[in-house]
Chain A
Amino acid sequence: MSATTEPRPPAAARTEPPRGGGRPSAPARTRWRRSRRRTSLLLQAVMALMVLYTLLPLYWLAVNSTKTNGELFTSNGLWFGSEFALWDNIVTTVTYQDGIYLTWLFNTALYSVAGAVGATLICALGGYALAKFDFPGKRAVRAVVFGAITIPATALAIPTFLLFAELGITDTRLAIIIPALVSPFGLYLMTVYAADSVPDSLLEAARIDGAGAWTTFWRVAFRLLAPGVATVLLFNLVHTWNNYFLPLIMLSDPTLYPLTVGLNQLNSQVTTGANLEPVYNVVLTGSLLAIVPLIVSFLFLQRYWQSGLAAGSVKQ
């Protein structure tokens, strides 16, 4: 904990991209490539078509969230109606059934943040240990956990429900948060990342200066792991935010629903006519509001998830 154990500033860590993180370190190469390539109209057109395909539904959703229920049926689906009712729709959405939408939004945020922060810390600790320590049973742990990457989360949903029903914790918040804490793929990513970005020499130096394993992790390794941590955090966040199958089977109390389950319940009400008021505008505007936080965080955290993708895709 003396001055020499101070980690390098975070900026220094970023100069060491994860394995395969070519993007930040390849300006020279890009220049070389660009200098001899001219824009190809054909390739440009293919990409434009693909962007049109991916963005058109989002555009459709945004446009139709500005319409009243009546105009949804009478106006052109790809253009605005005569009335711009987005604000009214938002108010209707958040006040519908005593503000149930805001409860769902809160639940989604709670499950995602608690699950993702917890899972990421657990993966950072575990990945660091698997990359940098030798301990009895390490090979077995690696084999079992990495093998579990191929076990699909949805295949676990019903077994987890059955176990949790036996334990009496279905229909509680814990029933969603506990499964969200487990991320074998996150552990794998952190192991790869720790092996590449935490130099043994630095750990050795910390040790010689008398820092314990715990101090070394928090004061030295964790800062070097920051970009990997951000990636795993973001992906766990998205995973829980988008999760549907598990909460669908775990929860029966609507005030515990996340957005995904709540929105689909609203939708099946309006489409089957079980609900007296046809609230298409609530379903559409609610859907739009549900994706805005994720799109914003993706745009802000681009550099992290892009380098993280590189770390995950090149090895294995």
Chain B
Amino acid sequence: MSTAPPAALRHPARRRRRDWTGLVFVTPFLVVFTVGIVAPLVYASGLSLFRDQLIGGRSFVGLGNYAEALTDARFLEGLSRVALFLGVQVPIMIGLALLAALILDSGRVRAMRFMRIGIFMPYAVPSVVAALMWGFMYGDRFGLVAQLNEATGAALPSPLSSTWVLAAIGNVVTWEFVGYNMLILYAALRAVPEELYEAAAIDGAGEVRVALSIKIPALRPALWVATLFSIIGSFQLFNEPNVLQSLAPAAISTYYTPNMYAYQLAFNANQVTYSAAVAVLLGAITVIVAYVAQRLTERGNRR
């Protein structure tokens, strides 16, 4: 850059002058963004303001569908179920991922590469395949639980019974994403400046103290990213219960999660406009919860 003419030095913002070139480069994204996100949301929001009646056809009901959803026992049941799921499964999964990331970063285990890849591997498995696989393992036909009961005379409860099926789903989701979250946290740990550890060593801090006082605070942003995606995933729970439904039709209803309910409304109950309202409402609730969680995290960071 020493060869740059003085004129360019005097106007360092020359390349950054306002012109339309950048906008041209962003245009393809804006086009697909409009077609793939904005237009569907606008269209579905519009549709959700109407209601189809057997007599009289489609009529404008304003926010009527939303009012109905907010008092709809099936929607609320699904919503409280995913909230319970969120409250139990996400802390367990993030906790396991954090533990594994801290252990990897401690450098005190052998075969690190194998461990890292091995724990991450389920991320490459489609959730449908994961649910099929675990479903067979849970099942009483040739599943592991049934075989264990048979072999040992134990009476383990079926994971596909209505009491246990939510936990069984939680296990599948944990299995799928624990390694992904572990790697996000591990990558963030690798970026902690070395000087901090040296300073801590000079101060005589033990390993647990280093983990609590340096590593976990440094992990805050990464923990937040992992939690954000898990919150979104919990509210949108669909694939795993939908796949397991054929194995446990008595335990998993068609309105087991809000997404399953929206699907049921649109494709089996023929209540398209109500389904649109449920989908939009669920998306809005997810975004709001994610936003509130982010604000809480930011406040925590400032402290």
* Chain B residues closer than 8 Å to A306, beta-carbon distance: 183, 187
A34 CA to B40 CA in the complex, in Å?
53
Residues of B in contact, count (CB < 8 Å): 112
- Contact present for A122 and B43 (CB under 8 Å): no
Q: Which residue of A lies closest to B115 (CB)?
A: A47
Interface size of A as a range: 35 or more
Q: Does B117 contact A (CB under 8 A)?
A: yes
Q: Does B239 contact A (CB under 8 A)?
A: yes
Interface hits, A144-168 → B, CB 8 Å: 145, 148, 150-163, 166
The answer to whether A136 and B20 touch (CB under 8 A), given A158-B276, A162-B44, A298-B124, is yes
Query: A211-243 toward B: CB 8 Å interface, digit per residue (1/0)?
Result: 001000100000000000000000000100110
Q: Does B262 contact A (CB under 8 A)?
A: yes
* Chain B residues closer than 8 Å to A137, beta-carbon distance: 23
- Contact present for B279 and A77 (CB under 8 Å): no
Q: Does A82 contact B (CB under 8 A)?
A: no
* Chain B residues closer than 8 Å to A58, beta-carbon distance: 121-122, 125
Q: Does B66 contact A (CB under 8 A)?
A: no
- Contact present for A126 and B25 (CB under 8 Å): yes
* Chain A residues closer than 8 Å to B235, beta-carbon distance: 152
A74 CA to B22 CA in the complex, in Å?
65
- Contact present for B175 and A54 (CB under 8 Å): yes
Q: Does A204 contact B (CB under 8 A)?
A: yes
- Contact present for B18 and A134 (CB under 8 Å): yes
- Contact present for B36 and A182 (CB under 8 Å): yes
- Contact present for B22 and A134 (CB under 8 Å): yes
Q: Does B221 contact A (CB under 8 A)?
A: yes
Q: Does B205 contact A (CB under 8 A)?
A: no
Query: A182-210 toward B: CB 8 Å interface, digit per residue (1/0)?
Result: 10100100000000000011011101100
Name 24 A/B residue pairs within 8 A (Cβ), A-sorted.
Answer: A23-B190, A46-B99, A47-B109, A64-B142, A122-B28, A126-B25, A126-B29, A135-B19, A135-B26, A141-B26, A145-B33, A148-B37, A151-B287, A155-B236, A156-B36, A158-B266, A159-B43, A244-B128, A248-B242, A298-B117, A302-B117, A310-B187, A310-B191, A313-B226
